[in-house]
């Protein structure tokens, strides 16, 4: 039975939250807990965000399950039991569905609905959806995820291809049967690295089109033992607390401060080998203090990884083509793999090096490079996302005086603390540009932001104030600080999605805060404790 769409007047919401992934679910739970009326919109048919959409074979998190999970509920920690060291997508989605049910979140979520526009006037946001609905709320909270708007490859003819074309970020729910078929994969970032071994296992022939080889380290994924689970369940509070003050949102022993070139080559190698064997995303980068800072130091770890690729790939030419060169380790997102390099030892798997023979077009029957046409039946695009700003700029968001967010960010994203934007009162961004976000354990960063936002709203309500807005001065200072931290490192050197380089025409601005999760939390807490000096409270 159709229901009447609520009108702005009939539906005096406190907050609209856009997105029902890790961020939106927890934000809803928090705000509801302080008695606010909240409505969440999500384009998907169910909760899950990135874990709803990314269903490609092999999709799994590369932060350990026991770290990549909510910390806000000790009961949830005890009830939920992860089965693998690195949970696969179906298990993470099941976890988020469980969270939605357990905390009765679905009743405030409208699914299959995108927010298309939002404008601020008279202390409220008016939010419009693609369902034609308009709602009004005091606060607009973007929980849209950092990697949710797809980036297709820049190649002509995709629409001419006769067979199925699937982006890894929109994989069909029923799966894709590639058995006996010739499959092409374009892209060798995390999604390519994870899916290629499984696609190869079923396909008759697999052709991988690689533009930039990734630094790839073994995940050493495995089932968790009952002892490990019992131990973690007994120690969750300590572990969660350590995550919150750590550098990446993952508890690790503090770095020693030792520099890579201070030790002998044998000592260096032993240190790298130990980290390589650990199978932890941040272990290798944490072996020496200067790997992110000094090219010569970084060269040593890059060469160590290239040596491992030579060990794992039988054909020397293929090994060389798979070896990352020309950008430092850790400056583009590296990946954890299970059997990635060994896949290229199979007769039916072929690597096409697009640096030697660039893509020309997709035809009705396959993919053409400058060298030849590769005929295939299925085309897989593992070509990534319009990262960090894509989903924030997709709706038409208008702040004070009708100024659009697209105008405000024409030269790159600008935020105060990655949380708020000058000229856009009562708009909050969860894990926005200028916060640790993608350079951290996302769940830890999400919880921190959702808590900070909920506390800020509670403070406004306590003081009876309608609005909170970042000042242009605080924003400018924060933008400069984020850039300065990045410029101190090797990270801006690479053409990565951290800096917008994967999307033609996107401003080249380093978008993540590099000061670390713990110090960043302290900075945000200090802002609140000092009465929000970087904000105007109206």
Q: Which is nearer to ligand NA7, 308 or 333 (CB)?
A: 333
Q: Are 241 and 275 spatial neighbours (Cβ–Cβ below 8 Å)?
A: no
Q: Which is nearer to ligand NA7, 445 or 502 (CB)?
A: 502
Q: Are 59 and 335 spatial neighbours (Cβ–Cβ below 8 Å)?
A: no
Phi-psi region for residue 524, left (φ > 0), alpha (ψ -120 to 50) or beta?
A: alpha
Rounded to a whole number of angstroms, the minimum distance from the CB of residue 221 to ligand NA7 is 15
Tokens of 111: 């699914």
Rounded to a whole number of angstroms, the minimum distance from the CB of residue 445 to ligand NA7 is 13
**Judging by beta carbons within 10 Å of its beta carbon (0-12, 13-18, 19+), is residue 197 exposed, middle or buried?**
buried
CB atoms under 10 Å from CB of 296, counted, come to: 10
Q: Which is nearer to ligand NA7, 187 or 423 (CB)?
A: 187
Say how far residue 363 (Cα) sits from the centre of its chain.
32
Give the separation between CA 155 and CA 351, rounded to whole angstroms. Answer: 18
Q: Are 425 and 125 spatial neighbours (Cβ–Cβ below 8 Å)?
A: no
Rounded to a whole number of angstroms, the minimum distance from the CB of residue 413 to ligand NA7 is 18
Give the separation between CA 264 and CA 366, rounded to whole angstroms. Answer: 50
Q: Which is nearer to ligand NA7, 254 or 504 (CB)?
A: 504
Give the separation between CA 248 and CA 333, rounded to whole angstroms. Answer: 14
CB atoms under 10 Å from CB of 411, counted, come to: 9
- Interface residues with ligand NA7 (CB under 6 A)? 147, 153-155, 168, 186-192, 211-212, 333, 354, 359, 382-384, 497, 502
Q: Which is nearer to ligand NA7, 429 or 512 (CB)?
A: 512
Which residue's Cβ lies closest to ligand NA7?
A: 189
Rounded to a whole number of angstroms, the minimum distance from the CB of residue 430 to ligand NA7 is 16
Q: Which is nearer to ligand NA7, 126 or 168 (CB)?
A: 168
Q: Are 422 and 471 spatial neighbours (Cβ–Cβ below 8 Å)?
A: yes
DSSP-derived letter for residue 45 is S
Q: Which is nearer to ligand NA7, 387 or 422 (CB)?
A: 387
Q: Are 356 and 159 spatial neighbours (Cβ–Cβ below 8 Å)?
A: no
Rounded to a whole number of angstroms, the minimum distance from the CB of residue 189 to ligand NA7 is 2
Rounded to a whole number of angstroms, the minimum distance from the CB of residue 211 to ligand NA7 is 4
Rounded to a whole number of angstroms, the minimum distance from the CB of residue 149 to ligand NA7 is 12
């Amino acid at each position: 039975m159709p229901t009447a769409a609520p009108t702005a007047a009939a539906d005096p919401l406190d907050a609209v939250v856009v997105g029902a992934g890790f961020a939106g679910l927890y934000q809803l739970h928090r705000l509801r807990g302080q008695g606010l009326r909240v409505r969440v919109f999500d384009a998907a048919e169910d909760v899950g965000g990135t874990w709803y959409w990314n269903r490609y074979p092999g999709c799994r998190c590369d932060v350990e399950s026991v770290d990549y999970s909510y910390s806000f509920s000790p009961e949830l920690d005890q009830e939920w039991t992860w089965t693998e060291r690195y949970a696969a997508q179906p298990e993470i989605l099941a976890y988020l569905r469980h969270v939605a049910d357990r905390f009765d979140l679905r009743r405030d979520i409208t699914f299959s609905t995108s927010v298309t526009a939002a404008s601020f006037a008279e202390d409220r946001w008016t939010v419009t959806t693609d369902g034609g609905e308009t709602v009004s709320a005091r606060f607009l909270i973007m929980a849209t995820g950092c990697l949710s708007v797809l980036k297709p490859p820049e190649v002509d003819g995709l629409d001419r291809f006769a067979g199925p074309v699937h982006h890894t970020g929109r994989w069909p729910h029923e799966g894709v049967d590639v058995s006996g078929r010739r499959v092409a994969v374009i892209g060798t970032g995390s999604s390519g690295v994870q899916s290629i071994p499984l696609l190869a296992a079923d396909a008759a022939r697999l052709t991988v089109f690689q533009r930039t080889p990734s630094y790839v380290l073994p995940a050493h994924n495995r089932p968790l033992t009952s002892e490990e689970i019992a131990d973690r369940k007994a120690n969750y509070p300590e572990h969660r607390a350590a995550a919150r003050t750590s550098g990446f949102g993952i508890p690790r022993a503090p770095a020693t401060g030792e520099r890579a070139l201070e030790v002998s080559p044998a000592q260096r190698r032993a240190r790298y080998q130990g980290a390589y064997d650990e199978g932890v995303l941040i272990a290798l980068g944490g072996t020496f203090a200067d790997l992110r800072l000094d090219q010569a130091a970084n060269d040593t770890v890059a060469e160590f990884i290239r040596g491992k690729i030579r060990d794992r790939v039988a054909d020397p030419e293929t090994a060389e083509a798979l070896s990352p060169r020309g950008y430092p380790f850790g400056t583009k997102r590296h990946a954890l793999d299970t059997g990635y390099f060994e896949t290229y030892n199979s007769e039916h798997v072929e690597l096409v090096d697009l640096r030697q023979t660039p893509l020309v077009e997709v035809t009705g029957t396959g993919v053409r490079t400058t060298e030849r046409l590769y005929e295939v039946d299925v085309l897989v695009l593992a070509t990534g996302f319009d990262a960090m700003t894509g989903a924030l700029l997709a709706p038409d968001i208008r702040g004070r005086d009708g100024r659009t967010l697209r105008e405000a960010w024409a030269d790159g994203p600008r935020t105060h603390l990655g949380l708020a934007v000058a000229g856009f009162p009562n708009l909050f961004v969860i894990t926005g540009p200028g916060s640790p976000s993608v350079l951290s354990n996302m769940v830890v960063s999400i919880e921190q932001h959702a808590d900070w936002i909920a506390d800020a709203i509670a403070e406004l309500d306590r003081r009876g104030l309608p609005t909170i807005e970042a000042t242009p001065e605080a924003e400018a200072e924060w933008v400069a600080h984020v850039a300065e931290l990045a410029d101190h490192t090797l990270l801006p050197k690479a053409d990565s999605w951290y800096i917008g380089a994967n999307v033609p025409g996107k401003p080249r601005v380093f978008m993540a805060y590099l000061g670390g999760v713990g110090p960043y939390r302290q900075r945000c807490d200090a802002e609140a404790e000092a009465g929000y000096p970087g904000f105007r409270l109206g």
